[in-house]
Each structure stands twice: as C-alpha cells, then as structure tokens.
Chain A
C-alpha cells in the first residue's frame, strides 16, 4: 500500500490535524469525539498508525502533520486518474465536465492553470 493512500477515517482525522496543527493529542481526541464520534482509544490507535507511516508525528503529546494536504490530494487525484481514466487527463475532464456548466470565473482559473502547466 502506498504511503499516501489514506482511508476515509484516516483522511477525516488528517483533516482535523491539518486544520488545527500543532494540536495537543488530548485536545485532538476531544475534537474527534465531537466530530467523528470516536472513542479516545480509537483516536489514539489512529494517531499511532499514522505516526508509524510517517504521515503525522506525535511528540510530547503534540500532534503535527508530516504530509501536506496538497500532497495527499495530488496523490488521490493521480490515483483516480490512473485507476478510472487510464491516466488520460482529457478523458477525466470530459467525464467531469459532462452535464456541468462552468462559471466564467472557474473557466478562467482552469485556463490559467493549463497555461502555467504547459510553459
């Protein structure tokens, strides 16, 4: 399994970490209880697992992320592209844009991105 592949529950925890880091682990369990309905032990188990995979670190009861949200998102979208669209970006975009209207602002943003990427 790739280091960057996060399960739903792991991603949700990381979401909280990214938002609040650096965060006290006790504090984190409280947020997880409230937002995810997790028991304290569940949160700690999850922290330990992710720490083992170097996705976050837990030092002196302070949790910080070792991965950026952007990295994970990049990995996820690449995996999706590879999995479902044989790595073809146009095929992905075609599927994505089907039955969808882009606003002018969104279209401009995308255009800008494409220009930057092809430079």
Chain B
C-alpha cells in the first residue's frame, strides 16, 4: 500500500509540474481555438495515470532528484540505507525534520509516516467515491423515468440542465419544455461531446482526480480541463453552423445556466463558467490556417516535452564536468584530492570527515575517513554491501594520477572498519585502465552512469536473494518477534559474504566460472544467551553455486553436486554455520563454524565458544 501511495505521489508531483507549464501554455493559446488548450491536458492526465515514460534530453520536467525517485527506498527503509545517490524529496525533507532523532529510528519513522499517509490517502479515496456513488445513484433515480424523445435523447422534468450520461451507450437527457431553437443548439452541443468521446474522458479524468485528491493542482487541472472541454465544444457548434448563431447560442446558454452540484458532474450544456463561455463564444472567429499551425506545433512540442522523462545524460554530464575540474596527475595535490572527495556521494548515514595522504613512499595512497554509526558500519563490513565505495574508488582512481591504493575508513567513534581498493582492482572492475575514463567529459559521464547502474542492479539482486531465502520452502528465516526485518537482511548479507568467499575460492582456478548462486537454507538452529553479554545466534546455511562448466571444477573430498549440476555448500568439514552476535540494536557477524567440527567436538556450544575466544 505504501508502495502504491509513493508511486501515486511521484506521478502527482511530475504531473503538477506538467500542469503548471500547461496552465502557462494555455495563456499563450488564449486567442487560439480552445481545442488546443483542451488537447494540452492529455499529457497531464497521462502523467497522472502512467508511472513510466520514455527519456528525452528535451524534457521540460525537472530532474528526478527533485522527486521521490526510488519507490523502494521509501517503501523499504532498509533499502534506503543501501540506496545511494538517488535521494528523494520526501526522504530529504523528512530527514531534515528528523535530524535530531537518532538514526536507527529515523528510517522507522519515515516508514510509519508513509504508512499513515497511505492510510489517509485510501480513506480519502473511499470517502469521495462513496459520495460520488450516492450522487450518481440519486441522479440515476431522477432520470429513471425520463421518456424517450428521439434517437438517444430522453426528456424529463426532473432535471434543469441537459447532459450526457452513460459509458457504453451514452444518452442525452434534456429537461422538458425547451424551445425548439434551444433544443437544436443543445443537441448539437451534446452530440459533439459524444462524437469526441468526452463522456468517457470526463469520468476517467474524475477518477484520476479522486486518486490524486490530495493534490490541489490536480483539482485545478480538472476544472480547467472541463472548462476547455466545454468551450471547445461550444466553438465547434458555432463553427459547424452555417449562420452566425453566436448571440442566440449565448442566450440559450444563459437561460439554461444552472450551477452544477455534485463532483461527478456529467457533461452538461448549461454548466458553470457561463460568463467565460459566453465571452469566448462572442469573441470566437473561425480560425484561419496560419493561426492554427503555430498553435498545433506548440501543443505537440509541449506534449512531447512533458510526456518525456528528463534524460539523465545531462545530469551525468554536469557532474562529470565538476569532477573533471579537479583532475590531477599527482596524488600529492591535496586541494584537488579534497575537492574530488567532497564531490563524492556516500551512502546514507555515512559522512565524510577528512582525508589523509600517504605520499612518503610508493605505493601512494589516500585514506578517506568517514563517520558513521555502529549499525551502518556493520552493514558495510560484508563485501557484498560495498558497491557504493567501489564506485567512489573508481572515480578517484580515474581522476587522481599516481595513486595506488585508496582506503575508506568507516568509524563509529569507537571501532574502525577499513575498505581498501587498489588501482589494479579498479582497472579489473572497469575492464581497462581506469584513468582513460577521465580523458573527456562524455566518457567520464559514462563511467558515472555505469557506476550507478551496477549499484542499482546489485541492490535489486540482493533484494531478490533475501526474498527467496526468507520465503524459501527449505526453511524460512526464523527470527525473534522483537527482531526487525532489517536484521534478517543483514544475516542474508553475512551469508552472501561467506558464499562470495567460496565463489572466489572456486574461481581461483581461472577455468572455473560461477555463473549463478542461491541460498537454499538460512535458518537459526541455535541461540546462546550465556556465552557473552550479547546473544549468540547460530544459523544453518546451505547454498548452491552454478559453475559454467562443471567438468572444470575439481571436486575435493566431501564436495557435492546436486542433480541439476549445482555445487552444494558441503565440504569435508560439513556445512557452514553462521555465528552472529546481537543485541537490541545491532547485529554483528562473528564468523563461521563447520557442522563437521561441531560433530567431532560433540557440542555446538563448545565450538562456538572456541570461535569467540579466538576472535577476542
């Protein structure tokens, strides 16, 4: 539900920008036939209903970073801390209001706020729909005894203004006792509505407004669109008539003008906006071709520009330009290095503190000191989670000439955790000399884009794996009730760290390539409260690795392959068990013990105790 709400919110914001531009464009089109203004609204409604669109550099919409960019970051506060760079407006504002609150409850608060907002949103929709349903039924009741006039026209003395109703077979309802001349105009007007399928457009527009009821700009758009719809319909009646009927048509309009009540106003002849409509009718001149062409072009151009999403190319180019300003050949150039680092994006809850240069001896290095909290630091201790740092390292290697290694030092004030990257690693990751990316702006923008893409796909993969594991048939991840989901995700991350080590081990043989991996079991099998001051949990981990070519894998003792050609986790020492220590607000990976060892010792507890002692 929260997810859906965020999607609607995003569409609402995008559409609001489009609506504001269109309100402006309408002013330019004031003198043109109203059909153009009416057509312009289509793009707003497209934006309100359709969450996706194509990308174009010509888009008039602001960059995605102004919007609630990533739905998942909000719907899943855990992904939020993993997510990097793609900040959202709501996220930012919420966070700035919450800066005083400590970070661990921060994401929960956002989550709760979104949930409450989503509930209010649904409630609002329900109320408006109920109200509309009642008004609609009342109206239906009033016209139930309308009598056949001719064709699809029915008359009744229960209504005061004519309108079209019905989706499949629209009918025109007219009040009784109309004068023949008035009736002619009305029927012409309503028939044009029917021909243009306005009787379908209006309800669709209405339900869209209901969906976006919290957005006043959408309401304004709805009323302006209705006005443009009626005006262009009036113009069409006058255009089609052989004589000049402007005055008599206006008079009929006036005599039937009745304020419409109810939200789901059907297409009525004598609707509100009478004054504006009469003014428009009196001023109407049959359009000439040379006046129509520019209006046409403007409508098409604006529609395209608003239908397209902004291309990220521009953003990447802009940030590439900034980075390249500080490109340097020497790691010793502290001011440039400092500027580069300050341009980097670090993940949620990780803040740049200062940097250190190691330039006395080769290899030259840079250490970037980052402040964070214990929870975040622990999160990044698994190699699987380190992609954001990987990307930053690549950027730095590309821009800084003779640097050989880069360290990121994460500290929570008490404990440090160091992530190190070397130039060789960066070259290997990008597949060529990483320096080449900084040759020109375009290539560097590409590097930035690739970095983001890798990160995104990584986050998605990671998410999938955790979902399959938690819901896996082999054994769901059992947690204490007090535990939050994000802890289970951390355990999954620990599991992947172990698995990745195993993959690396297999791939030491250059002929072996592991092309797929999955966790088949991750289940807490034991819990010790009396070993340390924290609780120690032991998780059974089973997983499968798919080698590209099984025949290349040398199966040592105890290694096993399942019937589908996947390598099992077992070795001569049995299967791995994850040992994790946790308290109320943090969780830490201690290490692994093997089931074989536990059997030999005769007690799991002994083995775990040994591991803890070894770690101290």
Contact = CB atoms under 8 A, between A and B. Distances in A.
Complex A-B, nearest 7 residue pairs according to Cβ-Cβ distance, in ascending order: A37-B148, A9-B145, A8-B157, A36-B147, A8-B176, A36-B148, A12-B147
Nearest to A8: B157
A8 B144 contact: no
A42 B142 CA distance: 12
Contacts of A8: 147, 155-158, 176
A42 B156 CA distance: 14
A64 B148 CA distance: 23
A8 B176 CA distance: 8
A37 B145 CA distance: 9
Contacts of B580: none
Contact of A38 (B147, B155, B158, B176): B147
Interface in B158-176: 158, 176
5 contacts: A8-B147, A8-B158, A8-B176, A9-B158, A46-B145
**Which secondary structure dominates chain A's binding surface?**
helix
B154 interface: yes
B147 A37 contact: yes
A18 to B, nearest CB: 16
Interface string A45-59: 110000000000000
B16 to A, nearest CB: 44
Interface string B164-196: 000000000000100000000000000000000
A95 to B, nearest CB: 16
B146 to A, nearest CB: 7
Interface in B502-516: none
Contacts of A9: 145-147, 156-158
Interface in A6-43: 7-10, 12, 35-38, 42
Residue with the greatest number of chain B CB neighbours at <10 A, chosen from A8, A10, A12: A8
A35 B145 contact: no
Interface string B119-162: 00000000000000000000000001111100000111110000
Contacts of A45: 144-145
A9 B146 CA distance: 7
A37 B144 CA distance: 10
Contacts of B148: 35-38
A35 B147 CA distance: 8
A83 B176 CA distance: 18
A72 to B, nearest CB: 15
